[in-house]
Amino acid sequence: MPVLMRQELSAFVSWSPLILLTRSEFAITSGCVIPHEVLRARIINELTQRQLSSGGWGTNALSKQVALEPSCLAALAVTPWSDAAYGAHEFLLCSQNPNGSWPAFVGDDRDGSWLTSLASIALRDCVPNIPVRLRGLHWLLNSAGKESNWLWKWKFRTTDRHVRFDPDKYGWPWFPDTISWVVPTSFAILALNQIPCTCGDFGHAANRVNLGIEMLIDRGCPGGGWNAGNGVVYGAPLAPHVDDTAVALLALSERKEHLVAQSGVLWLERTVQGLRSPWSLAWAVLALAAHGRPIESRLTCLMSLPDLSAIEDTSTLAAVSLALGCHDTLSAFGEAT
Amino acid sequence: MSITRRHLLVGSAGVAAGASVSVPLLLPKYHFDRRPKRSRVAILNVDQYSPKLEGILEAALQLFKINVVGKSVVLKPNLVDYFPGDAINTHRMLVFAAVECFRGLGAQSVLVAEGPGHQRDTQLVLFQSGYQECLQRKQIRFVDLNRDELVRTRLRASYSGMKHLWLPRTILESDLVVSMPKIKSHHWSGVTLSMKNMFGVVPGMRYGWPKNILHWVGIQESILDICATVPLHFVIADGVVAMEGNGPLNGTARKMGKLVLSNDPVSADATCARLMGLEPNRVPHIREASRFLGNSSTALIDQAGEAPTPPRTPFQVVPDWQYLHHSL
């Protein structure tokens, strides 16, 4: 990673008095302190460099196959109203499936994926995108985990009871024809919370969101936190994961008082101490901020990781940028900050 | 009793309907027979993970006369998640010993590739399991198969009913794929060995975490379809410390003291099952794979190193798989 450029520092100093900065607003790289906003600008610059001609992003710096997760996260991370943002929006508009959903990557089968939620969130705040977004949200409302069907509900109640969960409480699958999981349900809740009205087909959106929230609460791990969605299997508790927990907490930010949410926050705060993975740490910062917890030390930890702007995985790079711009990101996710 | 035209028509329709339902069930679900005339398996006694592994592996690979000169080699370990002290993952020392061995044999490139099934943060698993430090130090490329470029691939067997899968380009375009499983019992599939390890090539980016579609269409069936489709040339199975009970995550570490190498994944898995005290032909995917993918019978396996002697106490399995034990 190159050291801090003189012009970057002078530009930064010109609009932000250094004396007001806290430790969390600096990154330490190769012995050189980099201010928070400069680091974020560098990452956004790197994301812009990686943007492909279609306006989307590949999974890593070298990939030419456009994938939706890095594209949606990068679209949220780059500077609003910039050329990169316009290009990203154009890409998302063009890549929607005929049924209103979004695929996992360009060229994918056209039956839809969990990324419909993230794409709908990434297309926020732009009037021409409204019809496309509404079609996406409509698809999302009609999508549900397989356990929503009475036959599978019955199966999970009677013959298939090795995984502990309540099939009456269902959310969203990663892809059609499978059961509900924590991450796709959380992003669907965040997306559907942004529906501007409850008229017409969106009348039952609130019920679906509530059911999804109940599902998240039901699927928590016994000691706090979440993994993919299997809290207990064959009578044994499975361990939670930082990123799954963080995404679930983002979706539960309006249920801060719920005991399951609180135990998730406590687990997350305990676990992120000393964590060295930028992806998990970035999501943890966002979740803790959404729950009103202090994030300075976590941001410092994130910014102290080496070579942040050279992270190969584009989704991780974008997630770090989103964590550094925590306030804007939470606003994009519809969170009150 | 006379047969009227109406009876004949109804009867014919019934026969036709019955045939349309039963014929697909009777037809073979594999479209080729890849079984070698004979397979080779080497069982090595290895007490612990140590720097000596490289020498041990180097000597063992000589038994197989593998030609990797100028070829691209992909090592596919089993990296699921990380809990301190647990025997969940293929040990890093074994994987990196294998990298050095294949480099020494003249491979053009050797990389490590995996797509964890539960943990979305692959880099976290690499960090925590100690892989990341070794990858950097030895300058070995790692490919996250959950996020690799994908190729639509027609399945070469039809057990699961899926017609195709999106599979990682890295795996499909490599010259030699080496499955490096951790020897474990598994609550859904009975055992997880070299063939089940190939679930890791199915990309989470397309199928989610976990790769739930494979459970819905049948785990045993998916293993067969994937192994029929994805090239799997060699096996190095880690049984130095294995796992029994409620695997793949919540089982108990069990010192087994064995490495199993083979040029046939079915032979490797059958041998591992025997070493676990389980009857390989009671594991549905091993039994079925022995009809077209490889050999499970000891009569067709040239055994090198130690004999596949079952342990005094067989590996524990969850209640649904008790019938895998020889005595039952």
pLDDT digits (tens, 9 = 90+) for A109-138: 999 999 999 999 999 877 788 899 999 999
If one counts every other C-beta atom within 10 angstroms of the C-beta of residue A54, the result is 16
What was the pLDDT predicted at B44?
A: 97
Give the CA distances from residue A57 to residues A61, A183, A283, in Å, rounded to whole numbers and listed in that order.
Answer: 9, 21, 20
Nearest chain A residue (CA) to B215:
A178
Q: How far is A335 from chain B (nearest CA, A)?
A: 24
d(CA B16, CA B21): 9
Query: Nearest CB to B124: which of A162, A177, A280?
Result: A280
What was the pLDDT predicted at A337?
A: 58
Q: List chain A residues with CB under 8 Å of B118.
A: 227-228, 241
What was the pLDDT predicted at A129?
A: 84
Q: How far is A82 from chain B (nearest CA, A)?
A: 27
Q: Render A24-72 in DSSP notation, one character per residue.
A: GGEEEETTEEEEHHHHHHHHHHHHHHH--TTS-EESBTT--SEEHHHHH
Q: List chain B residues with CB under 8 Å of A316.
A: 123
Residue A195 lies in a domain: yes
Sign for the pseudo-dihedral over CA of B171, B175, B177, B178: negative
Residue A1 lies in a domain: no
- Residue A50 sits in a domain of what CATH number? 1.50.10.20
Q: List chain A residues with CB under 8 Å of B207.
A: 174-175
Query: Nearest CB to A236: which of B149, B216, B250?
Result: B250
Q: List chain A residues with CB under 8 Å of B185.
A: none
Restricting to B residues 185-214, those with a Cβ less than 8 Å away from any Cβ of A are 187, 205-210, 212-213
- B143: which strand partners? B113
Q: What is the pTM of this model?
A: 0.90
Q: Pick from B82, B89, B111, B123 the residue to mutate for testing the A interface (most A CBs within 10 Å).
A: B123
Per-residue pLDDT of chain B (328 residues; tens, 9 = 90+): 556 767 766 677 666 666 555 555 556 799 899 999 999 999 999 999 999 999 999 999 999 989 999 999 999 999 999 888 789 999 999 999 999 999 999 999 999 999 999 899 999 999 999 999 999 999 999 999 999 999 999 999 999 999 999 999 999 999 999 999 999 999 999 999 999 999 999 999 999 999 989 999 999 999 999 999 998 999 999 999 999 999 999 999 999 999 999 999 999 999 999 999 999 999 999 999 999 999 999 999 999 999 999 999 999 999 999 999 976 5
Task: Please name the amino acid found at residue A185.
Answer: T
Cβ contact, residue pair B149, A234, below 8 Å: no
Q: Render B42-87 in DSSP notation, one character per residue.
A: EEEE--S-STTHHHHHHHHHHTTT---TT-EEEEEE------TT--
Q: List chain A residues with CB under 8 Å of B189.
A: none
Residues of A with CB under 8 A from a CB of B: 58-60, 63-65, 67, 69, 104-105, 107-108, 114, 146, 162, 173-175, 177-179, 181, 183-184, 227-228, 230, 233-234, 236, 238-239, 241-244, 275-280, 313, 315-316
Q: How far is B267 from chain A (nearest CA, A)?
A: 30
Query: Nearest CB to B124: which of A104, A178, A277?
Result: A277
Cβ contact, residue pair A60, B147, below 8 Å: yes
What was the pLDDT predicted at B57?
A: 97
**CATH classification (class only), B45-266:** alpha beta
Q: List chain A residues with CB under 8 Å of B216.
A: 146, 177-178
What was the pLDDT predicted at B17?
A: 63
Query: What number of C-beta contacts closer than 8 Å exist between A and B?
Result: 95
Restricting to B residues 71-110, those with a Cβ less than 8 Å away from any Cβ of A are 81, 83
Q: List chain B residues with CB under 8 Å of A275.
A: 124
What residues in chain A have per-residue pLDDT under 50?
A: 1-24, 31
- In degrees and rounded to multiples of 5, residue A104 shows phi and psi of -80, -25
Token pair 């590996």: residue: B315
Query: What total of structural domains would you count in chain A?
Result: 1
Nearest chain B residue (CA) to A283:
B121
What was the pLDDT predicted at B19?
A: 58
Q: How far is A280 from chain B (nearest CA, A)?
A: 7
Identify the DSSP state of A240: P
What was the pLDDT predicted at A288?
A: 97
Query: Nearest CB to B212: which of A69, A162, A179?
Result: A179
Residue A215 lies in a domain: yes
Query: Nearest CB to A59: which of B123, B205, B250?
Result: B205
Q: List chain A residues with CB under 8 Å of B89.
A: none
Question: Which of B218, B231, B232 lies closest to B158 in space, CA to CA?
Answer: B218
| Contacts by residues B19-26 (CB-CB < 8 Å, ≥ 24 positions apart) | none
Cβ contact, residue pair B147, A175, below 8 Å: no
What was the pLDDT predicted at A153?
A: 80
Residue A337 lies in a domain: no
Nearest chain A residue (CA) to B164:
A109
Q: List chain A residues with CB under 8 Å of B249.
A: 238-239
Cis upstream peptide for B210 (omega within 30°):
yes
d(CA A118, CA A178): 19
- Full residue range of the structural domain in which residue A148 is found: 6-332
Domain boundaries, given as residue ranges, for chain B: 45-266
- B234: which strand partners? B178
Q: Render A256-278 in DSSP notation, one character per residue.
A: TTSHHHHHHHHHHHHHTTT---H
